[in-house]
Amino acid sequence: MDITFSPEEEKFRATVRNFIAENLPKLGKTSRRDFETKEDFLGWHRMLYKQGWVAPHWPVQYGGTGWNVTQRYIFNEETARAEAPALLPFGLAMVAPVIFTFGNDEQKKKFLPRILSGEDWWCQGYSEPGAGSDLASLKTKAVREGDHYIVNGQKTWTTLAQFADWIFCLVRTDATVKQQEGITFLLIDMKTPGITVKPIIVLDGAHEVNEVFFDNVKVPVENRVGEENKGWTFAKFLLVNERSGIAGVARSKKAIERLKEIGRAEMLDGKPLIETDEFARKIADTEIELAALEFTELRTLAQEAKGSHAGPESSILKIKGTEIQQRITELTVEAIGYYAYPYDRYFGDNEYPPGPAYASGGAGTYFNMRKASIYGGSNEIQRGIIAKAVLGL
Amino acid sequence: MDFSFTEEQTLLRNSVSKYLADNYKFEDFKKISRTEPGYSAKTWKQFAELGLMAAPLAEAYGGLGGGPVDTMVVMEEFGKALVVEPYVSTVVVGGGFFHHAGSEAQKQEWLNKIAAGETIIAFAFAEPQGRYNFADLTTTAKKSGANYVLNGQKAVVLGAPWADALIVTARTSGGQRDAKGVSVFIVDKKSKGVATRDYPTIDGLHASEVTFENVEVPAANLIGPADEALKLIEQVTDEAIAAHASEAVGAMKVLLNATVEYTKTRKQFGVPISKFQVLQHRMVDMFMHSEQSASIAYMVTLKLGEGEIERKKAASAAKVQIGKSGRFVGQQAVQLHGGMGMTDELNVGHYFKKLTMLDTLYGNVDHHLKRYADLG
């Protein structure tokens, strides 16, 4: 058992660090909360693409870096430590693995390069108003007519669909069989006539998610991944991938660092807040949970490196990872005090919100992050998965 | 041992409840909050006509002779409707300062105005450096002839954009955090040298950063004796804490009911999700939090007239209970509503934001656990 990094791995870390130090500052905005335009979101993606580093987990033949699990881990750590904006997962980490694992050659040739370059922005057409936790009960219908499917229905909670070029959709192609056995995986061009995107504003004022309506949308059969009615397998495959990316250990480490900075700056009767017992212990408690999670993730990675795939155990990463993320935002609001009150989105780009810079958006982030225990399979569902698939209950 | 309300208090509750049900639905709250100036002068006038401002104030000064229990009744209904109008800062804080320490002239002038709904008062006490310590003051008031000259800065003054008068805490002597040397003034917001930077708050209210530059305040505007106001501030803010505790209870009741109803109608996996034991127990926990909070709101309201230590302990206990329960009930209401709970469109998120910010106001859980423990 060995948890140190080798000299080669440390050299790799230095290369990554240098690249980030040279390139990240060239981006204007780096905080997701400040992003407004498509280009804001794509800035970092384009830089990594030029370097050849935008898809470390892809097979080399499609544009992956060929890094081993440890190198990928180091890369994630370094980018999170530098607070580089997180890449959007829908194209790179969700639909692309489905395409290169289950798609045909034409689909690989057509879609993968454009996902890699960022030329195509993808969104995820899974949830529906009536199909949240019970995704398999989805109703958006696709009827085969010659060499097209005609799609009718509605998707919801579609992240950043307002910028999307393509949507990967789970649709119902057979309503007479067991639900999971009548689902098909379609790739749909967002410019197809009949598609409407409607914003959903969330409680901190952000426009991140949308409703997507399909009104007699014609989708060519060649945009179907795999066989008709076999889409649920790909959906599950993708959901497990979604889960293991979600521990967010490196980013939470950074968030704790920021919280400590706030704790050092906030004064309680002339003494830094972080020097009060109560606050110091709360931070320590969360940091310790995170340390444990880090090793849980490393153990999972070690298993992956040996060839076995993350299965239901990745539910722990999702549950603990999101609970820790949320806890950090809670502590941040506690640390900030009264300057949590001003509504950060009210202040324009050229205005400074009142109070210290670290206070701005603190409450908004806390409210926004309540989604983390709901999305990606709610934490209740994840506990159910562990109960059933791991503990055999 | 009697927890029943008087006939007048029941009538009061019914009239507020009915008015709000007809005129302050969720969509009304949103509209009022999001349209300049962020509150409804019409609603404020209606509150006055319903006798809400007069209810807890002394009859000699235009009030109806009630007290904290009347405030409790009104505030629970306000919490249920997300009322933004500045009742607590005007009636409980403004009214409280004059009631406890005002001169006869001040009582005549201000309590009558408050009871009639003719003034909106905001309480300017917090400062950028002070966190929750009322005595941590860089705002100073220096005696100069027949006036005091006010200089300094106040942070996040809730309701200030709507106020005509500010109650301002300032240091008249002593070091920055000395208990002695704290004074309280009523200041006309239009006074020369008062500047405000107004903004909306994350929970649907409005606040200002207020700066005072050589503001001349008549000595007659000092409330109570100079240098000795800290205990008065603690008493009045404990009364405000009781009012906000009741407001929080109202909000929690709405969230609990909404969550129970939603889970009964939301079907997944072929059944209403209310059938899942995990969620049932979660809602039971929300219920218990809500009940414990209601109890503590009663306790603090009934103990406001006790001795200083007893009253402070009750107020800190209320802040701790409401802070913890408000967080749990708010978070779980969002969680159990799934994605819907995250939307701006649904009311749930707004109650959650209100409860969250009520924890910050007048000191969060940690602050009050310490105050409670330090009181022995």
DSSP string for A212-270: EEEEEEEEEGGGEESSTTBHHHHHHHHHHHHHHGGG-HHHHHHHHHHHHHHHHHSEETT
Distance CA A300, CA A320 (A): 14
Answer yes or no: is A282 within a domain: yes
Would an 8 Å CB–CB cutoff place A380 in contact with chain B? yes
Reported as a pLDDT band with limits 50, 70 and 90, residue A37 is: confident
Do residues A211 and A253 both lie within one domain? no
A21 plus A128 within the same structural domain: no
**Residue A169 placed within a domain:** yes
Under a CB-based contact definition with an 8 Å cutoff, are residues A169 and A189 in contact? Answer: no
Is A278 in Cβ contact with B369 (below 8 Å)? yes
Q: Is residue A37 part of a domain?
A: yes
Q: Are A85 and A118 in contact (CB under 8 A)?
A: no
Looking at the predicted complex, does its ipTM rise above 0.95?
Answer: yes
**Which A residues 114-173 touch B at CB under 8 Å?**
127, 130-134, 137, 156-157
| Whether B331 and A370 lie within 8 Å, measured CB to CB | yes
Rounded Cα distance between A119 and B34, Å, is: 38
**Catalytic residue status for A77:** no
Give the domain CATH number at A129. 2.40.110.10
| Residue A337 within a domain | yes
Cβ–Cβ below 8 Å for B155 and A339: yes
Map tokens 């003494």 to a residue: A271
Q: Is residue A116 part of a domain?
A: no
Higher pLDDT, B115 or A239: B115
Q: In the prediction, which pLDDT does A314 show?
A: 81
**Is B231-374 the same fold as B122-227?**
no
Lowest mean pLDDT among A3-7, A202-206, A382-386, B217-221: A3-7
Contact A342 B207 (CB under 8 A): yes
Is the pLDDT score of B208 beyond 90? yes
Q: Are residues A306 and A366 in the same domain?
A: yes
d(CA B313, CA A250): 42
A73-106 pLDDT, tens per residue? 889 889 988 999 989 999 999 999 999 999 999 9
- Poorest-confidence range of A155-159, B7-11, B137-141? B7-11
Q: For residue B291, give the nearest of B333, B256, B241, B315 by alpha carbon.
A: B256
Partners of residue B129 in chain A, C-beta under 8 Å = 267
Q: What are the chain B neighbours of A267 within 8 Å (beta carbons)? A: 129, 131
**A272–B contact, CB cutoff 8 A:** no
- Band of the pLDDT at A388, cuts 50, 70, 90? very high
Quick one: B122-227 is in which CATH superfamily?
Answer: Butyryl-CoA Dehydrogenase, subunit A, domain 2 (2.40.110.10)
Q: Which CATH number is A375's domain given?
A: 1.20.140.10
Residues A211 and A259 grouped into a single domain: no
Q: Does B268 touch chain A (CB under 8 A)?
A: yes
Residue B108: which of B73, B61, B72 has the closest Cα? B61
Across the interface, do B199 and A342 touch by the CB < 8 Å criterion?
A: yes
Closest CA to B114 of B39, B188, B184, B57: B57
A311 and A386 together in one domain: yes
The share of chain A scoring above pLDDT 90, in percent, equals 80
Residues from chain B contacting residue A347 (CB–CB below 8 Å): 199
Whether the pLDDT of residue B31 is over 90: the answer is yes
Q: What angle do CA B323, B325, B326 make, to 5 degrees?
A: 65
Domain segments of chain B: what residues? 7-119, 122-227, 231-374
Provide the domain count of chain A: 3
> Residue A368's domain spans which residues?
248-390
DSSP, residue by residue, B180-238: TTEEEEEEETTSTTEEEEEEEBTTS-EEEEEEEEEEEEEGGGEESSTTB-HHHHHHHHH
CATH class (in words) of the domain with range B7-119: mainly alpha
- Phi/psi of residue A310, each to 5°? -60, 125
Within a domain: residue A106? no
Report DSSP letters for B237-303, one per residue. Answer: HHHHHHHHHHHHHHHHHHHHHHHHHHHHH-EETTEEGGGSHHHHHHHHHHHHHHHHHHHHHHHHHHH
Which of B138, B334, B342, B369 to probe by mutation at the A interface, max A CB count within 10 Å?
B342
Do A263 and A361 share a domain, yes or no? yes
> Which of A78, A242, A266, A287 does the annotation list as catalytic?
A242
Are residues A282 and A188 part of one domain?
no
Q: Is the pTM of this model over 0.90?
A: yes
Tell me, yes or no, if B175 comes closer than 8 A to chain A by beta carbon. no
Contact B199 A354 (CB under 8 A): yes
In a domain, A61, yes or no: yes
- Whether residue A45 is found in the same domain as residue A156: no
Quick: pLDDT tens for B241-296.
999 999 999 999 999 999 999 999 999 999 999 999 999 999 999 999 999 999 99
For domain B231-374, give the CATH superfamily: Butyryl-CoA Dehydrogenase, subunit A, domain 3 (1.20.140.10)
- DSSP reduced 3-state for B156: strand
A264 with A186, same domain?
Answer: no
